[in-house]
């Protein structure tokens, strides 16, 4: 009889929620109890339920225990004896709309064990293509599948591979772009941590297709667990002859290196990324020439996103037609989105392209934490756009999203409710791109700074209507005069918020009001004398001693000292502190 196995989700999200403590405690107690085998997997997409522990018992359904604490471990082991567990109910709702292709193995296999990947069809695609020995056929399959690059631009992958394959050059390279620098995006990290061999297999296949014998995975050093798991996976793949000289007995040889990036957003841009691999400063270059013609060290290079490459083994194994059945016209397959912000179920959602935003946010994500209506959704990170609730029936495909002014980007979805100030959000994203500008282009370097100053004045109630025109004018100039997409798209969050939420800008400027109560200069805290019992709690907790008053008498906030930290409102048990 197969033994009972307990699996703990040890992805970055799980570990940060305490899963490693749970794992260590299970390990400690199982040393004496020996009632089960302990194993680990990675994130299964349900970050909101971490730490997650799964119990695999022979001939019984898997028990999924969620939000587990170290102190729950003895009861879990006791549950093994009585078969009494408390599985989570939210799981089926979270998974119903999803179609897991890229994330098919994540949260199921042990990412450090190549055997787990092999058991689930891993490296079969590589075996198949080296046996057929027809790189052009591989390109044909990828072209027929309709796969588009998931790094943001949505360029047809097969067409890109063909360009690199046809380019003249003795030496060619392939690169996996795992930089993932957008705030709120963590899809690529989850795939690398949870199923690294899938990406490696996709990259080897891309190398085979274009005639490259060396590849790089460019991953940010801020993803140490992903780096560790890829390193281990490369060693295991070498052991099994999926990498190295004469792969699987064929004439094809392929070496794979890891380059850790220092965490600059601009280094996700392909030409800057290649400069970084070459040991130069990560600055974008004018294209053409495109990487397919002249990339790494001047050689033809193909660069793809993690998710693009992760789709490749599935397509080769199952056929282009099967992949093309998913999604909608011109937008085939699935896309992984990371759900973040004020959403109830934060985590990863893999859905067919063509699914509506409303379905993703409400059916997968469960709506907002507060249960209020969604106010806005930021799509595509700092280069993307902010859409209002009324546009949530827009489907996630490259063209429909572009028509709204937002973009698919790499797949970050940040949900906002009424406690979010739209002007402040625009300021936040512009501040990000401003700081991440490489500085090469004047408009991107200085124009974004001027835009940011205007936004800061608006949030401080010091701006004028005239400055809105200036904001639009600068946005237009930055878009047209910047070299790379970082600059060209930097004004997007401002332009979309102005398009859909202009009334909030006007309120800040004309009425000196921030309806979300976020912009500090436009709010004040006051104590309502009729509600205050004089308990003194706020005065004791105020960090700048701005509150005074006698015990059992109404208290009073000195506005000249108040820093608007809001501690008084948080501690008052009588609802006497009002934010105005």
Contact footprint for ligand FMN (CB under 6 A): 149-153, 155, 177, 179-181, 265-266, 268-270, 303-305, 308, 410, 484-486
- Report, in Å, the least distance between residue 452 CB and ligand FMN: 17
Q: Which C-beta is closer to ligand SF4: that of 1 or that of 286?
A: 286
CB of 270 vs ligand SF4, minimal distance in Å: 12
Among 538, 546, 562, 567, binds ligand SF4 (CB under 6 A): 538
Q: Which two tokens stand for residue 501?
A: 């939420």
Please, which of residues 429-448 interact with ligand SF4 by CB under 6 A? Answer: 437-441, 444-445
The DSSP annotation for 413-433 comes to EEEE-TTS-HHHHHHHHHHHH
Instruction: Tell me the closest approach of the beta carbon of residue 149 to ligand FMN, in angstroms.
Output: 2
CA distances from 453 to 262, 446, 470, 474 (A): 28, 11, 11, 12
Q: What is the CA radius of gyration of the chain?
A: 26
Residue 39: helix, strand or coil by DSSP? strand
- 3 touches ligand SF4 (CB under 6 A): no
- Residue found by looking up tokens 């936004």 in the block: 455
265 binds, among ligand FMN, ligand SF4, none (CB under 5 to 8 A by kind): ligand FMN
- Shortest distance in whole angstroms from residue 579 CB to ligand SF4: 13
DSSP H helices, 372-464, are 398-404, 422-436, 442, 448-459
427 belongs to the binding site for ligand SF4 (CB under 6 A): no
Among 184, 555, 564, 567, binds ligand SF4 (CB under 6 A): 555
Closer of 425 and 490 to ligand FMN (Cβ): 490
Residue 503 CA to residue 416 CA, distance in Å, equals 17
**Whose Cβ is closer to ligand FMN: residue 305's or residue 420's?**
305
| Residue whose C-alpha is closest to residue 490's, from 479, 502, 501 | 479
Q: Least distance to ligand FMN from the beta carbon of 305, Å?
A: 3
Out of 484, 495, 509, 522, which residue is the one contacting ligand SF4 (CB under 6 A)? 484
CA 464 to chain centre: 36
Work out whether 274 is an interface residue with ligand SF4 (CB under 6 A).
no
Pick the binder of ligand SF4 from 414, 486, 519, 567 (CB under 6 A): 486
The structure tokens 């601009």 sit at: 266
Residue 440 binds which of ligand SF4, ligand FMN, none (CB < 5-8 A, kind-dependent): ligand SF4
Question: C-beta of 2: minimal distance to ligand FMN in Å?
Answer: 40
Q: Return phi, psi of residue 64, to 5°.
A: -110, 115
Between residues 68 and 441, which has the closer beta carbon with respect to ligand SF4? 441
Nearer to ligand SF4, 237 or 273 (CB): 273
Residue 211 corresponds to which tokens in the numbers above?
């005639």
Q: Least Å distance between CB 552 and ligand SF4?
A: 9
Euclidean distance between CA atoms 213 and 256, whole angstroms: 9
Residues in the chain: 580
Shortest distance in whole angstroms from residue 215 CB to ligand SF4: 26
User: What does the angle CA 334 – CA 218 – CA 303 come to, to the nearest 5 degrees?
Assistant: 60
Task: Give the whole-angstrom CA distance, residue 202 versus residue 191.
Answer: 13
**Binding flag, residue 546, ligand SF4 (CB under 6 A):** no
Output 203 or 576, the one with its CB closest to ligand SF4: 576
Cβ proximity to ligand FMN, 6 vs 444, nearer residue: 444
All residues at 6 or more sequence positions from 249 whose CB lies less than 8 Å from its CB, including other chains: 241
What stretches of 437-491 show up as alpha helix (H) in DSSP? 442, 448-459, 465-481, 485-489
535, interface contact from ligand FMN, ligand SF4, none, CB < 5-8 Å by kind: ligand SF4
Judged by beta carbon, residue 29 or residue 153, the one nearer ligand FMN is 153
- Pick one of ligand FMN, ligand SF4, none as the site partner of residue 56 (Cβ within 5 to 8 A by kind): none
CB of 476 to ligand SF4, least distance (A): 15
Total interface residues for ligand SF4 by CB under 6 A: 28
Question: Closest Cα partner for 81 from 116, 29, 125?
Answer: 29
Q: Which is nearer to ligand FMN, 211 or 261 (CB)?
A: 261
Taking the least distance from each CB to ligand SF4, the nearer of 110 and 536 is 536
Does the footprint of ligand SF4 cover residue 527 (CB under 6 A)?
yes
Q: How far is the CB of 276 from ligand SF4 (least distance, A)?
A: 13
**Which residues are within 8 A (CB) of 545 and not within 5 positions of it... i.e. 6 or more apart?**
539, 561
Max Cα separation, the chain? 87
Indicate the pairing of strand 5-9 with strand 37-41: parallel
Beta 53-56 vs 5-9: how paired, if at all? antiparallel
Nearer to ligand SF4 by Cβ, of 38 and 537: the residue is 537
Collapsed DSSP state (helix, strand, coil) of residue 275: helix
Taking the least distance from each CB to ligand FMN, the nearer of 94 and 265 is: 265
Of 60 and 552, CB closest to ligand SF4: 552
Which segment (115-123, 158-166, 231-239, 569-577) binds ligand SF4 by CB under 6 A? Answer: 569-577
> Look-up: residue for tokens 């995975």?
217
**Phi, psi dihedrals of residue 121, rounded to the nearest 5°:** 90, 10
Q: Binding of ligand SF4 at residue 378 (CB under 6 A)?
A: no
Joined together, the tokens standing for residue 173 give 């390279």
Q: Which residue has the tokens 């930097």?
A: 490
Give the interface segment with ligand SF4, choosing from 312-320, 353-361, 417-425, 478-486 (CB under 6 A): 478-486
Q: How far is the CB of 188 from ligand FMN (least distance, A)?
A: 7
Preceding omega of 458 cis (within 30 degrees of 0) = no
Please state, as a whole number, how many other Cβ atoms lie within 10 Å of the Cβ of residue 81: 9
Token output for 412: 């970050």
Query: How far is Cα 29 from Cα 26, in angstroms, rounded to an integer?
Result: 5
Residues near ligand SF4 (CB under 6 A) are 266, 284, 437-441, 444-445, 482-484, 486-487, 527, 532-538, 555, 571-572, 574, 576-577
């Amino acid at each position: 009889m197969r033994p009972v196995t307990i699996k703990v989700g040890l992805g970055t999200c799980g570990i940060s929620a305490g899963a490693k403590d749970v794992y260590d405690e299970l390990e400690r107690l199982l040393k004496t109890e020996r009632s089960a085998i302990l194993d680990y997997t990675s994130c299964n997409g349900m970050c909101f339920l971490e730490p997650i522990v799964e119990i695999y018992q022979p001939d019984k359904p898997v028990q999924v225990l969620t939000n587990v604490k170290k102190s729950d471990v003895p009861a879990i082991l006791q549950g093994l004896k009585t078969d009494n567990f408390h599985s989570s109910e939210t799981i089926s709702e979270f998974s119903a709309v999803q179609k897991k292709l890229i994330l098919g193995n994540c949260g199921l296999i042990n990412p450090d064990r190549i055997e787990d990947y092999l058991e689930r069809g891993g490296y079969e695609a590589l075996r198949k293509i080296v046996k057929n020995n027809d790189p052009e056929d591989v390109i044909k399959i990828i072209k027929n599948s309709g796969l588009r690059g998931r790094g943001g631009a949505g360029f047809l992958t097969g067409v890109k591979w063909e360009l690199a394959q046809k380019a003249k050059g003795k030496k060619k390279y392939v690169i996996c772009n795992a930089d993932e620098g957008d705030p709120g995006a963590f899809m690529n990290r989850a795939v690398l941590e949870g199923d690294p061999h899938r990406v490696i297999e996709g990259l080897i296949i891309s190398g085979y297709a274009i005639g490259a014998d060396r590849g790089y995975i460019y991953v940010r050093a801020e993803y140490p667990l992903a780096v560790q798991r890829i390193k281990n996976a490369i060693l295991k793949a070498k052991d099994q002859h999926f990498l190295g000289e004469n792969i699987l007995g064929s004439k094809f040889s392929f070496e794979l290196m890891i380059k850790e990036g220092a965490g600059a957003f601009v280094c996700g841009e392909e030409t800057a990324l290649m400069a970084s691999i070459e040991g130069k400063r990560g600055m974008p270059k004018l294209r053409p020439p495109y990487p397919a013609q002249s990339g790494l060290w001047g050689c033809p290079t193909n660069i793809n996103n993690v998710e693009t490459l992760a789709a490749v083994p599935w397509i080769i194994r199952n056929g282009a037609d099967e992949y093309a059945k998913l999604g909608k016209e011109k937008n085939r397959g699935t896309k992984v989105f990371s759900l973040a912000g004020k959403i109830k179920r934060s985590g990863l959602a893999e859905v067919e392209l063509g699914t509506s935003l409303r379905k993703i946010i409400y059916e997968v994500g469960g709506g907002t934490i507060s249960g209020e209506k969604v106010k806005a959704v930021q799509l595509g990170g700092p280069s993307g756009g902010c859409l209002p609730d009324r546009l949530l029936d827009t489907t996630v495909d490259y063209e429909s999203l572009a028509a709204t002014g937002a973009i698919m980007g790499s797949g970050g979805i940040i949900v906002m409710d009424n406690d979010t100030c739209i002007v402040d959000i625009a300021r936040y994203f512009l501040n990000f791109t401003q700081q991440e500008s490489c500085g090469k282009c004047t408009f991107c370097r200085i124009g974004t700074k001027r835009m940011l100053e205007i936004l800061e004045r608006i949030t401080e109630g010091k701006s004028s209507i005239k400055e809105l025109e200036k904001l639009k004018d600068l946005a237009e100039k930055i878009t047209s005069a910047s070299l790379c997409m970082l600059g060209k798209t930097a004004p997007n969050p401002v332009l979309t918020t102005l398009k859909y939420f202009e009334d909030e800008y006007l309120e800040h400027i004309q009425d000196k009001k921030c309806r979300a109560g976020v912009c500090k200069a436009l709010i004040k805290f006051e104590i309502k004398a009729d509600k205050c019992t004089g308990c003194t709690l706020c005065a004791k907790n105020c960090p700048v001693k701005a509150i005074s008053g006698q015990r059992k008498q109404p208290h009073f906030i000195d506005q000249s000292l108040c820093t608007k930290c809001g501690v008084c409102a948080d501690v008052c048990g009588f609802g006497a502190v009002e934010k105005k």
